């Protein structure tokens, strides 16, 4: 369990009062849906902010810190995958065009 000294630095203290074994992206999303009207993107942004605070304030190499670091990696991977999805959906007007033919360049 987190100390009061750490909890007062967080916005969502009720979530972090649960046992660290229950700290997961899915349980965070359920908590966030219940207490906020924000989007999934804002949920993950807020989770990332909370995780940064916890990383700075937890005892190094504690079970809680290991759990937080794993959750931070998971959220970071989701952020990277979301950006890849956005980049691959760029409209053809923004794709490179051949100067000589004026046609869209296909990558192989």
Alpha-carbon distance 91 to 71, whole Å? Answer: 33
Q: What is the mean pLDDT of residues 38-65?
A: 91
Q: Which letter does DSSP use for residue 24 in this model? A: -
What is the token pair recorded at 74?
A: 């998971």
Top pLDDT among 12 and 84 is at: 12
Q: Which letter does DSSP use for residue 101 in this model? A: T
The model's pLDDT over 12-35, given as tens digits with 9 standing for 90+, comes to: 999 999 999 999 989 998 999 998
Cα-based torsion angle of the residue sequence 41, 73, 29, 16 in order, rounded to the nearest 10 degrees: -120
Q: What is the mean pLDDT of residues 54-70?
A: 94
- Ranges of each domain in the chain: 4-89
């Amino acid at each position: 369990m987190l100390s009061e000294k750490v909890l007062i630095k967080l916005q969502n203290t009720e979530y972090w009062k649960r046992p660290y074994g229950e700290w997961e992206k899915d349980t965070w999303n359920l908590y966030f849906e219940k207490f906020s009207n924000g989007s999934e993107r804002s949920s993950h942004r807020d989770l990332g902010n909370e995780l940064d605070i916890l990383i700075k304030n937890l005892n190094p190499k504690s079970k809680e810190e290991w759990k937080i670091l794993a959750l931070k990696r998971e959220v970071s991977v989701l952020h990277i995958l979301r950006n890849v999805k956005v980049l691959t959906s760029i409209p053809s007007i923004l794709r490179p065009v051949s100067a000589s033919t004026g046609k869209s360049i296909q990558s192989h």
